[in-house]
Amino acid sequence: MRRLPPLTAIEAFVQVARLGSVKSAAEELSLSSPALSRRVQNLEHFLGRSLFERRHHAMVLTEDGEALLARVSGPLDELANAIEVSTGQADLLRLRLGVLPLFASQRLIGKLPELRDMHPELHIDIDTAAHGTARLGDGLDAAITLAQSIEPGLYSREIDHNIITPIGARGLTVRGAPVTEPEQLAGLTILLHRDMPETFLFWRNAIGYPNLEPAAEDHFDSGQLMLDAAAQGLGVAFMLDSHLQDADDERLVPLFDTRVESPYSYWFSCRRSALRRKPVKLFHDWLFSRVCRQASGPSESGAAIAEAV
């Protein structure tokens, strides 16, 4: 029988190749970074060729590494699935999902019972901390974030398009007059979300008021708190029309007759290799078939999605 390298070395190689980082791969495999590096080096020594270019904080596959990954990643996944079935672990699937709190409360949690009915074996760990895309493969399997775009190296799909909506308390006034014109913002505080910092600037330029300055800007890291602050008359929240619709709060109304498409959208993203994992694929397909509003089109074509999975 031909001599083979240790399976642990192949597993280490595949994880580093998929995650692009020794640190992330080590955490995924519950190893120290030096131990994982030794496994990869042992495989390179066995093969007699370099599989990675070592760069600052990154591991980039060489041509030999790309070729090897294409040959072994599929069989390794099949072997892992076979072991899960044999040990009974396949009965439980777990997804580590990063999601913004407002999206989770308005559009996700209420629909999760439907997903549980469809896939009772799927369980979701929800993480509402910031910087979801930066933590993909490093604690998160997938993320739902609010951004203008997602870095090209990740698989991403736009969840919906939205309109920038200035949201205020019903009956809001400034200097005793009802707020009906954009110029009146000069006497009001505006409320901005940390993930949408340029919303007001984009809106004022689009409606032809590039020099319009509010009395003050208050910044929030919680969309729900922004809505609550607006409802209490503390300022005008510059958010998305979906935020107002899903809030269903009679205290809140849209201000001004403007319609400006937002540069910010909700996105689903994950590492491309993650779509091969059943928990990610099940959630992705359910999200876009049952939860998401129809966007003008996904960020990737059907062919690109098929290639990713």
Q: What is the pLDDT of residue 206?
A: 97
Task: Write down the pLDDT at residue 296.
Answer: 37
pLDDT of residue 308: 43
Q: What pLDDT, on a 0 to 100 scale, did the predictor assign at position 91?
A: 64
Q: Kindly state the greatest CA–CA separation across the chain.
A: 89
Report the DSSP pairing between strands 173-174 and 163-169.
unpaired
Domains of the chain: 7-87 (1.10.10.10), 92-160+265-308 (3.40.190.10), 163-261 (3.40.190.10)
pLDDT of residue 99: 95
Task: Name the DSSP letter for residue 90.
Answer: G
pTM: 0.67
Whether residue 172 contacts residue 256, with contact meaning beta carbons closer than 8 Å, is answered with no
**Nearest-angstrom CA–CA distance, 146 and 102:** 11
- Report DSSP state, residue 196: -
Give the pLDDT confidence score for residue 303 in this predicted structure: 34
In a 3-state reduction of DSSP, which class is residue 126?
strand
Please state, in angstroms and rounded to a whole number, the distance separating the CA atoms of residues 214 and 265. Answer: 24
Q: Residue 79 has what pLDDT?
A: 81
Reading phi first (left if > 0) and then psi (alpha if -120 to 50, else beta), residue 208 is in: left
Residue 118 parent element (H or E): helix 112-118
pLDDT at residue 25, as a whole number:
82
Q: What confidence tens digit (pLDDT) does each residue in 177-199 have? A: 999 999 999 999 999 999 999 99
pLDDT at position 84? 64
In contact, 196 and 238? CB cutoff 8 Å: yes
For the chain, first and last CA: distance in Å?
34
- Helices 7-19, 63-87: crossing angle, 10 deg rounding: 110
* C-alpha span between 228 and 240 (Å, rounded): 15
Q: Which residues of the chain have pLDDT under 70?
A: 1-2, 81, 84-91, 293-309
